[in-house]
């Protein structure tokens, strides 16, 4: 069954998508490989953004949504940021009644999974 409509704040939900894809590009390998999936699970719309990047160390996986937390990236100076992006993403997702989780392996990549309730189930 296709998902054709969700009830969401257009500006903020777009920012969630842009932030997750932008992070995947920033931290991806070469070539950049990003997989975006959207599907229905129960009464939720689920979308995931998966990359082939540097991954998140296990010690930092539970902190990536914390305000100002930046995962140390060694000599990757091209990656700039405030440490607020994922905090904002989590806030917007939770404001929509949803949740966000992350799976990651070092040198393999990360997958951010967002689940948002569908109004019509």
Least confidently predicted of 22-26, 63-67, 111-115: 63-67
Q: What is the pLDDT of residue 112?
A: 96
CA pair distance 43, 40, nearest whole angstrom: 7
DSSP bridge partners of 109:
105
The strand order across the sheet containing 109-117 reads 34-41, 44-51, 109-117, 99-105
Count of Cβ atoms closer than 10 Å to residue 115 Cβ: 19
Query: Are the C-beta atoms of residues 58 and 79 closer than 8 Å to each other?
Result: no
pLDDT at 4: 76
pTM to 2 decimal places: 0.85
For 24-48, give one letter per residue: b (16+ CB within 10 A) or e: bebbbeeeeeeeeeeeeeeebbbbb
């Amino acid at each position: 069954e296709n998902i054709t409509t969700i009830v969401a704040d257009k500006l903020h939900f777009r920012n969630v998508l842009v932030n997750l894809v932008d992070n995947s590009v920033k931290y991806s390998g070469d070539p950049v490989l990003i997989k975006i999936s959207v599907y229905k699970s129960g009464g939720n719309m689920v979308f995931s953004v998966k990359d082939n990047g540097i991954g998140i160390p296990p010690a930092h996986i539970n902190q990536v949504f914390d305000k100002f937390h930046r995962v140390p990236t060694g000599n990757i100076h091209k990656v700039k940021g405030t440490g607020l992006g994922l905090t904002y993403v989590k806030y917007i997702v939770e404001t929509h009644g949803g949740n966000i989780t992350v799976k990651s392996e070092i040198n393999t990549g990360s997958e951010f999974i967002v689940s948002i309730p569908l109004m019509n189930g």
